[in-house]
């Protein structure tokens, strides 16, 4: 378990502060993460990587000359927000564009794509590479759905070396994609990991058993087996990966980089015993091991486990893999010393956003919106542990924590907006941006989009009425389904949002007041959330463990149903106050 922490919610920020204080030769802090503290060659492509915290050396430990130019650092096991990625990419840009690199998880895809769109709108050439090396997370025919685990290192290292060598953006992207196509990983775990402040691990494995094919965010394995000997484990890992030799590779005489990665609690000495047999098996298969890596490269807090990665080389990939690099957690060869960047005072300061003019009616609506967000915060705080428990059954267990961070930030931002005289739309827009930025993860992106869509519909010129609110909910559903690609039946919050949208619209069209229509729709939402228990997840981190979630509702669906019911209670209170006035 994680023993050394202060306030669990502050763990990620305090960790970053300490990392920068101890590694100032390589990195400096910017809003959203870290960037190189050395000057990079002008007019070269910059590689910005990132993901949730809790995986060191990934991702910040890979920032330095010859490797990444910056790392966007999300909260624990939660993707960085689009704002964080945008900030780091802007700071890291050398003038020839930015390549964003990340593991293929739904939240990371959403946030990094949003940041990519924003960078392009500012005239910065921006591309992305989502690493998909985990063979256990999807069949070969569906490789684009696979997760990124320890194979992140090979893709990032090759892409960074190409950028350092002056490759064009098109060529950097092409070589990164080739590295991804030639990287395969497979892992096992003997215990789950425990987040700071939690009193139990995100998943557990029976004594004497191991989880096979688990993820790096506390997701349980796709199966279990008896704990083998070190040699037997090596045989399992190698045999699994040799069933997926990349197309065009001749097994006899092929050159591979083997990476035996410790996930947090398996000691280096144990890894060396396992690698002893891995090396023998690779040689027996006719392979030549090049530059083996044994140690902790992508971890998961205190998870006891290991993964094996095979990176299948060609001449160009080998040259780039062997190129010099100097980062806190990965060094090789001798890089040409670069001058330190001039200090800019540390982390970028938050910019106070201006408040557009609003009518008296809209400002009164903003006060009611703040009350609704306060009710959402109260119900999330009260149910955070249960939401985490539900999420941990097939996912990573962080939904409750993420929702708490998001809704608290939204309330604070909305309160600030109301205090400064904001209207309904501006209040919702401030809340949306704060929720997405502080929560990170998939839920942060989607709730940010939802609040923004409602804000767009209600505006700042009149009191939010039933028709505008219903239109905003419809806009939220459309935006979320278009961006996240989820549809009803995929076991996500969309399974609640769509029937809620339809019931709200039906009530408004029938002439009901907003309070009445919302109440009827909230009842529909509650039933829809309960019904997700019988669905199999087809999106997100729970998808590889679909059968485990049967009988349990989706955490995102449950949290949405709880929130819309809590908001209905505030609408009733506001109606009662009006009637008494």
Domain ranges in the chain?
1-131, 179-324, 360-580
Q: Is the pLDDT of residue 56 over 60?
A: yes
Categorize the per-residue pLDDT at 547 as very low, low, confident or very high, splitting at 50, 70 and 90.
low
Length reported for the chain: 581
For the stretch 444-491, pLDDT in tens is: 889 999 999 999 999 999 999 999 999 999 999 999 998 778 899 999
Asked if 71 contacts 60 with a C-beta cutoff of 8 angstroms, the reply is: yes
Which class does domain 1-131 fall in?
alpha beta
Q: Is the pLDDT of residue 544 over 60?
A: no
Q: Distance between CA atoms of 4 and 516, rounded to whole angstroms?
A: 49
Average pLDDT over residues 122-133: 97
Beta 209-212 vs 126-131: how paired, if at all?
unpaired
DSSP 471: H
Which class does domain 179-324 fall in?
alpha beta
Q: Distance between CA atoms of 92 and 34, rounded to whole angstroms?
A: 9
Q: Is the pLDDT of residue 536 over 70?
A: yes
DSSP state string for 113-180: HHHHHHHHHTT--EEEEEE--BTTSS-GGGGGGPPPSTTHHHHHHHHHHHHHTT--HHHHHHHHHHHH
- Rounded to whole angstroms, the maximal C-alpha distance in the chain is 85
Give the CA radius of gyration of the chain.
24
Residue 474 CA: distances (Å) to CA of 161, 428, 501: 46, 16, 6
For residue 546, what pLDDT is reported?
55
Residue with tokens 């600030």: 416
What six digits make up the tokens of 121?
């709108």
Enzyme catalytic residues: 217
Average pLDDT over residues 8-33: 91
Which of 194-198, 237-241, 383-387, 394-398 is the most confident on average?
237-241
What six digits make up the tokens of 265?
């609690």
- The residues pairing with 130 across neighbouring beta strands, listed in sequence order, are 102
Helix 441-458 vs helix 399-419: angle between axes, to the nearest 10 degrees? 30
Q: Distance between CA atoms of 13 and 15, rounded to whole angstroms?
A: 5
Residue 225 CA: distances (Å) to CA of 126, 205, 236, 266, 544: 43, 10, 11, 18, 17
Q: Distance between CA atoms of 384 and 168, rounded to whole angstroms?
A: 47
Q: Is the pLDDT of residue 76 over 60?
A: yes
Q: What is the 3-state secondary structure (H, E, C) of 268-295?
A: HHHHHHHHHHHHHHHHHCCCEECCCEEE
Q: Would you state the torsion angle of the CA atoms of residues 332, 338, 343, 347, taken in this order, to the nearest 10 degrees?
A: -30
Work out the number of other CB atoms within 10 angstroms of the CB of residue 501.
Answer: 22
What six digits make up the tokens of 203?
């998943």
Q: Which helix (H) or strand (E) holds 365?
A: helix 360-392
> What's the mean per-residue pLDDT of the chain?
91
CA neighbor of 216 nearest in space, from 560, 483, 541: 541
Q: Which helix (H) or strand (E) holds 53?
A: strand 46-53
Residue of 3 and 314 predicted with greater confidence? 314
Beta 288-289 vs 255-262: how paired, if at all?
parallel
Q: Is the pLDDT of residue 348 over 80?
A: no
Categorize the per-residue pLDDT at 389 as very low, low, confident or very high, splitting at 50, 70 and 90.
confident
Over pLDDT 70: what percentage of the chain?
A: 94
10 Å CB burial of residue 572 (0-12, 13-18, 19+) is middle
Q: Which CATH superfamily is domain 360-580 in?
A: DhaL domain (1.25.40.340)
CA neighbor of 101 nearest in space, from 60, 61, 48: 48
What six digits make up the tokens of 564?
């819309």
Q: b or e along 309-339 (b: 16 or more beta carbons within 10 Å of the residue's beta carbon)? A: bbbbbeeebbebbbbebbbbbbbbeebeeee
What six digits make up the tokens of 143?
């490789």
For residue 483, what pLDDT is reported?
78
What six digits make up the tokens of 554?
């989706």
- The residues pairing with 134 across neighbouring beta strands, listed in sequence order, are 185
């Amino acid at each position: 378990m994680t023993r050394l922490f202060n306030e669990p919610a502050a763990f990620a920020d305090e960790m970053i502060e300490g990392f920068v204080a101890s590694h100032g030769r390589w990195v400096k802090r910017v809003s959203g993460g870290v960037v190189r503290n050395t000057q990079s060659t002008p007019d070269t492509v910059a590689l910005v990587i990132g993901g949730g915290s809790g995986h060191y050396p990934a991702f910040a430990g890979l920032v330095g000359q010859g490797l990444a130019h910056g790392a966007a650092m999300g909260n624990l096991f939660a993707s960085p927000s689009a704002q964080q990625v945008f900030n780091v990419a802007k700071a890291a840009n050398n003038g020839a564009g930015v390549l964003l690199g990340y593991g293929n998880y739904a939240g990371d895809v959403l946030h990094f794509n949003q940041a990519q769109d924003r960078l392009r709108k500012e005239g910065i050439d921006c591309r992305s590479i989502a690493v998909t090396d985990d063979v256990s997370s999807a069949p070969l025919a569906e490789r684009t759905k696979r997760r990124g685990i320890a194979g992140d290192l090979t893709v990032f290292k090759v892409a960074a070396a190409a950028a350092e060598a002056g490759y064009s953006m098109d060529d950097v992207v092409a070589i990164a994609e080739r590295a991804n196509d030639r990287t395969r990983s497979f892992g096992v775990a003997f215990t789950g990991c425990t987040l700071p402040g939690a009193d139990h691990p995100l998943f557990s494995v029976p004594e004497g058993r191991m989880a096979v094919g688990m993820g790096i965010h506390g997701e349980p394995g796709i199966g279990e087996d008896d704990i083998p000997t070190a040699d037997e484990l090596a045989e399992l890992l190698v045999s699994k990966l040799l069933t997926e030799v990349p197309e065009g590779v001749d097994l006899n005489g092929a050159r591979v980089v083997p990476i035996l990665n410790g996930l947090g609690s398996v000691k280096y000495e144990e890894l060396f015993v396992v690698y002893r047999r891995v090396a023998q098996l690779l040689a027996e298969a006719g392979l030549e091991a090049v530059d083996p890596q044994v140690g902790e490269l992508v971890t998961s807090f205190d998870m006891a486990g290991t993964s094996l990665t095979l990176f299948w080389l060609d001449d160009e990939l080998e040259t780039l893999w062997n190129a010099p690099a100097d980062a806190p957690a990965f060094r090789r060869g001798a890089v040409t010393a670069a001058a330190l960047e001039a200090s800019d005072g540390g982390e970028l300061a938050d910019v106070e956003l201006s408040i557009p003019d609003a009518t008296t009616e809209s400002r009164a609506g903003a006060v009611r919106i703040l009350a609704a967000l306060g009710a959402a915060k109260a119900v999330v705080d009260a149910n955070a542990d249960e939401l985490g428990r539900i999420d941990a059954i097939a996912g990573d267990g962080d939904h409750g924590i993420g929702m708490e961070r998001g809704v608290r930030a939204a309330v604070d931002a909305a309160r600030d907006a109301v205090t400064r005289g904001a209207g309904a739309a501006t209040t919702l827009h401030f809340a949306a941006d704060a929720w997405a930025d502080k929560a990170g993860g998939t839920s942060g992106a989607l709730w940010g989009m939802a609040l923004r869509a409602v804000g767009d519909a209600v505006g700042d010129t009149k009191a939010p009425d039933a028709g505008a609110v219903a239109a905003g909910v419809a806009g939220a559903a459309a935006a979320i389904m278009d961006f996240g690609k989820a549809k009803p039946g995929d076991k996500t919050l969309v399974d609640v949002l769509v029937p809620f949208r339809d019931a709200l619209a039906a009530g408004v069209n029938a002439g009901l007041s907003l309070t009445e229509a919302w109440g009827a729709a909230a009842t529909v939402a509650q039933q829809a959330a309960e019904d997700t228990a019988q669905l199999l997840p087809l999106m997100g981190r729970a998808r590889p463990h679909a059968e485990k979630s049967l009988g349990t509702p989706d955490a995102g669906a449950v949290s949405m149903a709880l929130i819309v019911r809590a908001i209905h209670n505030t609408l009733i209170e506001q109606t009662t106050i009006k009637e008494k006035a």
